[in-house]
Amino acid sequence: MNVQEIIADQVKAAVREGFGAQLPSVEFQPTRKDFEGDITVVVFPMLRHIKGNPVQIGEAIGTHLQDKVAAVARYNVVKGFLNLVVTDAYYLDFFNGIKDLEHYGSFPKGKEAVMVEYSSPNTNKPLHLGHIRNNLLGHSVASILEAAGKKVYKTQIINDRGIHICKSMLAWLRFGNGETPESTGLKGDKLVGNYYVAFDKAYKEEVAQMVAQGTDPKTAEKEAPLLLEAQQMLQKWEAGDPDTVALWKTMNGWVYDGFDITYKNLGVDFDTLYYESETYLLGKEFVREGLEKGVFHTKEDGSVWCDLTDEGLDEKIVLRSDGTAVYMTQDIGTAIQRVKDHPDIGGMVYTVGNEQDYHFKVLFLILKKLGFAWADRLFHLSYGMVDLPSGKMKSREGTVVDADDLMESMTRTAAEISEELGKLEEYSEKEKQDLYKIIGLGALKYYILKVDPKKRILFNPEESVDFQGNTGPFIQYTYARIQSILRKANKQGMDRHPEVGNQMALHPKEKELIKQLQLFPETVQLAAENYSPALIANYTYDLVKEFNSFYQQVSILGEAEADKKLLRIQLAHSVGQVIARAFGLLGIQVPERM
């Protein structure tokens, strides 16, 4: 039981004994900087249960706590706020208990699993900046859930069929002259993406030509020969035409190889993969079951719908009149299939942009109506788009920010800034390149993950690689500084493992640092409950700010008293460990030197 839980129990006891009332809960907040104290009990909410003056109530509770709770040294009351000073001995005992824990902040793994879906790209183009936010969010949330004690399956559904794939295939047949990733030296996803752009260019030229010859623009868009041929190719694919399927497999294979390189460079991975070409027919059997249960109804044209108007939504089609499935049908079937494949799944997290908010409301509601108990534990990790100073991105027009190009650009920017700072004289060229990549990717990941997922991001690459402020490189630099301190301490023969006696008086900066370390496990749980890596990112920044303030105001290796010196070395080590663990949850590496 931590000190806040002990205090909460005793506050309830004080109210029960002194005022004859039952408090359902106790509200805490950090003590304001201009008052003495570590924890503040807010008295005002108690006035719903107790009659009296808030100052007098605070005094009575404070006296009780000072008498009953050994960790409470003294108190003061300011209006309706009871400020409690916690003993140095309590914080030292706490720190001695966690300083050598290898997995501090992580919780024992439970039996129930959760599946996290992210990435889920189309195989007609390379991954871009929007995919980067998706992948970083999904992968980080999976890591945070795991740290919070969940068993986690990381998955994606690859959108490997449909008219967009056929457009790339047709353009390659028309304009490709048999070129391959090997013959061009291009990553396969980029090669295929180039043909998606080429299709759009040729299609627009056809439409413009038809309009110039007197065709109505809307008719031209629907009846351009290139589009009609792409639609015929899709029909051939669905009919299993051998040549069409063979080309589809070849070009998708190129794309998968390209994706694998991008995922590796980005530092994300998956446990299981699902392919739309294998799942697009799933769900139809459950539509039939839903019809029998009255969940769905058939209209006069034979199409099947789900009426959600009682839930504040509208009607949703699940089967077309010709019996073909829509995306919703596929997603119903895929969700059910995933639980069949992994029976221990108790919930799923879908990392998908906020333009799909309505789709997921409908999906979750239909699954619930079909009677699946786990439907109550489905979550749409809805996130805002990533904008650039230059504006929106468009895949068809080839104006997207390619994920590989962005990562390379971030590494180059990190190199330029690091070389300007001029602290890498002793590094080999390979060590420099490795460090630039760690800094560049760390800057990219932190800049994206520090923002609440629901918010849009205006991504500024130069700003993200700043070595000052709330950035990845600033936190990485602090970690490297700590490692330098520890290396020097090691040369001095300092063993950082012995316990420091709890009778020592703490410097205010030491106390603040221990209080910040104390918040880490709670932050991990909060981030898991809210599916928000931003809570981890901003906790880490607060910890680093607190450490830098400590570093500037107290001497570590220059401290004359052995016990104080030992404690400060241990504090530096623990802060470094927590930075590394927190950044690990964000998928960010920390360098030993910078």
Amino acid symbol at 375: A
Is the domain of 166 the same as that of 265? yes
**Residue 67 maps to which CATH number?**
3.30.1360.70
Question: How many Å apart are CA 457 and CA 118, to the nearest integer?
Answer: 18
In a domain, 124, yes or no: no
pTM of the model: 0.92
pLDDT digits (tens, 9 = 90+) for 517-530: 999 999 999 999 99
Phi, psi of 61 (to 5 degrees): -65, -40
Q: Select from 249, 269, 289 the last residue of a domain.
A: 269
Total number of domains in the chain: 2
Neighbours of 275 (CB within 10 A): 15
Phi, psi of 320 (to 5 degrees): -70, 170
pLDDT digits (tens, 9 = 90+) for 479-533: 999 999 999 998 887 766 777 778 899 999 999 999 999 999 999 999 999 999 9
Give whole-number Cα distances, 251 to 129, 165, 244, 426, in Å: 23, 9, 11, 46
Cα–chain center distance at 275? 23
Q: Is 177 buried (19+), middle (13-18) or exposed (0-12) by CB count in 10 A?
A: exposed
- In the three-class reduction of DSSP (H, G, I as helix; E, B as strand; rest coil), residue 573 is classed as helix
DSSP 44: G
Which two tokens mark 382? Answer: 């809805």
Residue 439 contacts by C-beta under 8 Å, 6 or more apart in sequence? 414, 418, 465, 472, 473, 476, 591, 594
CB 406 within 8 A of CB 465: no
Neighbours of 29 (CB within 10 A): 10
Which two tokens mark 79? Answer: 């209006």
DSSP codes of every residue in 418-480: HHHHT--TT--HHHHHHHHHHHHHHHHHHHHHTS-TTS-EE--HHHHT-SSSSSHHHHHHHHH
pLDDT at 455: 95
In a domain, 552, yes or no: no
Write out the E strands in 354-432.
378-383, 386-387
In a domain, 556, yes or no: no
Give whole-number Cα distances, 467 to 431, 442, 521, in Å: 19, 12, 27
Q: Select from 215, 234, 269 the last residue of a domain.
A: 269
In a domain, 54, yes or no: yes
pLDDT at 174: 96
Q: Are strands 297-298 and 345-353 parallel, antiparallel or unpaired?
A: unpaired
Is the domain of 167 the same as that of 264? yes
In a domain, 220, yes or no: yes
CB 581 within 8 A of CB 539: no
Closest CA to 142 of 182, 166, 114, 165: 114
Q: Select from 41, 63, 86 the last residue of a domain.
A: 86
In a domain, 576, yes or no: no
DSSP 506: P
Question: How many Å apart are CA 544 and CA 516, to the nearest integer?
Answer: 10
Q: What is the pLDDT along the chain (594 residues), one digit of tens a residue?
A: 789 999 999 999 999 999 999 999 999 999 998 999 999 999 999 999 999 999 999 999 999 999 999 999 999 999 999 999 999 999 999 999 999 998 999 999 998 899 999 999 999 999 999 999 999 999 999 999 999 999 999 999 999 989 999 999 999 999 999 999 999 999 999 999 999 999 999 999 999 999 999 999 999 999 999 999 999 999 999 899 999 999 999 999 999 999 999 999 999 999 999 999 999 888 998 999 999 999 999 999 999 999 999 999 999 999 999 888 899 999 999 999 999 999 999 999 999 999 999 999 999 999 999 999 999 999 999 999 888 776 544 444 445 688 999 999 999 989 988 887 777 778 889 999 999 999 999 999 999 999 999 999 988 888 888 888 999 999 999 999 999 999 999 888 776 677 777 889 999 999 999 999 999 999 999 999 999 999 999 999 999 999 999 999 999 999 999 999 999 999 999 999 999 999 999 999 999 988
In a domain, 126, yes or no: no
β-sheet bridge partners, residue 158: 275
Structural domain range at position 183: 162-269
- In the three-class reduction of DSSP (H, G, I as helix; E, B as strand; rest coil), residue 412 is classed as helix
CB 318 within 8 A of CB 306: yes
In a domain, 80, yes or no: yes
Which two tokens mark 133? Answer: 């936010």
